[in-house]
Chain A
Amino acid sequence: MPSTKTRPASRRRRDSSADSDASTDSAEDKAGEDAASANGAAEEHDDSAPSNGKPAGPKRRTTAHEMATRQRDISVSEFFAKNRHLLGFDNPRKALLTTIKEAVDNSLDACEEAGILPEIWVRIEPTADNRFRAAVQDNGPGIVKKQIPLIFGKLLYGSKFHRLRMSRGQQGIGISAAGMYGVLTTGQPIKIVSRISKGKPAHYYEIKIDTKINQPEILNGRGEGVDIPPGAKGQAEFDRHGIVWVEADHGTRVTIELEAIYKRGRGSVDEYLEQTAIANPHVTIHYTDPEGNESTYARSAEELPVEPKEIKPHPYGIELGNLITMLSDTKESTVTAFLTQGFSRVSHTVARKVCEGAKVSPRARPATIGRQEADSLFKAIQETKILPPATDCLSPIGEPLLLKGLYHVVPAEFYTAATRPPAVYRGNPFQIEVALAYGGAATTQKVPLELLTELLRESDARTLRQFLINTFAGLGSEAADAILKEADQGTRSSPKGLKPKEIQKLHEAMRSTSLESSQTMNVLRYANRVPLQFQPGACAITQTIMGTNWRSYGLTQSRGSLPSGPITVLVHMASVWVPFTSESKEAVAAYPEIEKEIRLALQTVGRKLGMYLNRRLKVRQEGDRRNIFLRYLREVATAVSTINQSDRDKLYEQLLLVAKRKTAQADVKLDKHGKPIEAPEEDLGEHVIIVDPTQMADALRGGSPPQETMDAVLTDARRTLVKSKETLREITERRQLADEQTASAKHSRGTSDLKNRNKN
Chain B
Amino acid sequence: MAKKKRSRSESSSGTPAAVLTPRDKKTINTLITLADEIVEAADKKKDPHLDIPARTLTNVKYNNTARIIEMGKGTNRRQLFNLTQAKAYMQTLLVAEGTKRLLDQGKTTSIRGLYYLLKHTIEGTKEETFDDQADCDPIIEDLEVTLTTLREELHVYASNRGAMVGPLTLTDSGDEIDCSRMGSGGYSIPSIVEADVIQFGSHRAEFILHVEKDTVWRRFNEDKFWRKHNCILIHGGGQPPRGVRRLLSRMHNELTYRGQKLPVFCLLDNDPWGYYIYSVLKQGSINLAYESKRMAIPDARYIGLRSKDFEECKLTPSVQIRLNEQDIKRAKQIAGYPWFAKKKEWQREIKQMLDNGFKLEVESLISKDISYVTETYVPERLKAQDWLGD
Q: Chain A interface (Cβ within 8 Å of chain B)? A: 625, 628-629, 631-636, 638-640, 642-644, 646, 651, 654-655, 657-659, 661-663
Contact = CB atoms under 8 A, between A and B. Distances in A.
Given A642-B97, A646-B35, A655-B80, 14 more contacts: A629-B81, A632-B86, A634-B122, A635-B122, A636-B89, A636-B90, A640-B38, A643-B35, A643-B96, A654-B42, A658-B42, A658-B46, A659-B81, A662-B47
A654 B43 contact: yes
B125 interface: yes
A654 B44 CA distance: 9
A682 to B, nearest CB: 23
Interface string B33-67: 01110110011011110000000000000000000
Interface of B: 31-32, 34-36, 38-39, 42-43, 45-48, 80-81, 83, 86-87, 89-90, 93-94, 96-97, 100-101, 122-125, 127, 129
A644 B39 contact: yes
Nearest to A640: B35
- Please provide the 5 A-B residue pairs with the shortest distance between their CB atoms, ordered closest to farther: A639-B97, A643-B35, A644-B35, A654-B42, A639-B93
Given A629-B86, A631-B124, A643-B32, A636 B39 contact: no
B42 A651 contact: yes
B123 A634 contact: yes
A573 to B, nearest CB: 48
A636 B38 contact: yes
Nearest to A630: B124
A659 B127 CA distance: 20
Contacts of A662: 47, 81
A642 B39 contact: no
B123 A651 contact: no
A631 B125 contact: yes
A459 B103 CA distance: 70
A633 B122 CA distance: 10
B37 to A, nearest CB: 10
A654 B45 contact: yes
Given A636-B93, A639-B93, A658 B81 contact: yes
B42 A632 contact: no
A631 B122 contact: yes
Contacts of B89: 632, 636
Contacts of B127: 631
Given A632-B122, A659-B81, A640 B94 contact: no
B335 to A, nearest CB: 43
Given A628-B86, A632-B87, A644 B81 contact: no
Given A642-B97, A642-B100, A651-B39, A658 B47 contact: yes
A640 B81 contact: no
A655 B123 contact: no
29 contacts: A628-B86, A631-B125, A632-B86, A632-B90, A635-B122, A636-B38, A636-B80, A638-B97, A639-B93, A640-B35, A640-B93, A640-B97, A643-B31, A643-B32, A643-B93, A643-B97, A643-B100, A644-B32, A651-B38, A651-B42, A654-B43, A654-B45, A655-B48, A655-B80, A657-B45, A658-B42, A658-B47, A658-B81, A662-B47
Nearest to B28: A643
A628 B124 CA distance: 12
Contact of B129 (A635, A661, A663): A635
A457 to B, nearest CB: 40
A665 to B, nearest CB: 9
Contacts of B32: 643-644
A227 B38 CA distance: 95
B141 to A, nearest CB: 18
A533 to B, nearest CB: 44
A629 B93 CA distance: 14
B185 to A, nearest CB: 41
Nearest to B31: A643
Contacts of A655: 42, 48, 80
Which of B34, B35, B81 has the most chain A CB within a 10 Å cutoff?
Answer: B81
Nearest to B118: A639
A642 B96 CA distance: 10
B123 A632 contact: no
Nearest to B129: A635
A471 B122 CA distance: 42
Nearest to A646: B39
Given A636-B80, A636-B93, A658-B81, A644 B45 contact: no
B83 A625 contact: yes
A632 B84 CA distance: 12
Contacts of A629: 80-81, 86
A755 B188 CA distance: 72
Which of A628, A632, A634 has the most chain B CB within a 10 Å cutoff?
Answer: A632
Contacts of A634: 122-123
A644 B86 CA distance: 21
A450 to B, nearest CB: 36
B357 to A, nearest CB: 44
B81 A643 contact: no
A465 to B, nearest CB: 30
A651 B90 CA distance: 14
Nearest to A628: B86
Nearest to B83: A625
A639 B123 CA distance: 14
A589 B90 CA distance: 62
Nearest to B120: A635
Contacts of A640: 35, 38-39, 93, 97
A629 B125 CA distance: 13
Which of A635, A655, A658 has the most chain B CB within a 10 Å cutoff?
Answer: A635
A644 B36 contact: yes
A651 B122 CA distance: 18
Contacts of B87: 628, 632
Contacts of A642: 97, 100-101
Contacts of A661: 45
A264 B195 CA distance: 85
A464 B34 CA distance: 61
B140 to A, nearest CB: 14
B67 to A, nearest CB: 38
Contacts of B38: 636, 640, 651
A598 to B, nearest CB: 42
Nearest to B33: A644
Contacts of B46: 658
A629 B101 CA distance: 25
A639 B122 CA distance: 13
Contacts of A631: 122, 124-125, 127
A629 B81 CA distance: 7
A655 B46 CA distance: 8
A678 to B, nearest CB: 23
Given A640-B93, A657-B45, A662-B47, A632 B80 contact: yes
A639 B81 contact: no
Nearest to A657: B45
A638 B98 CA distance: 11
Given A632-B86, A662-B81, A643 B34 contact: yes
B36 A658 contact: no
A640 B100 CA distance: 10
Contacts of A628: 83, 86-87
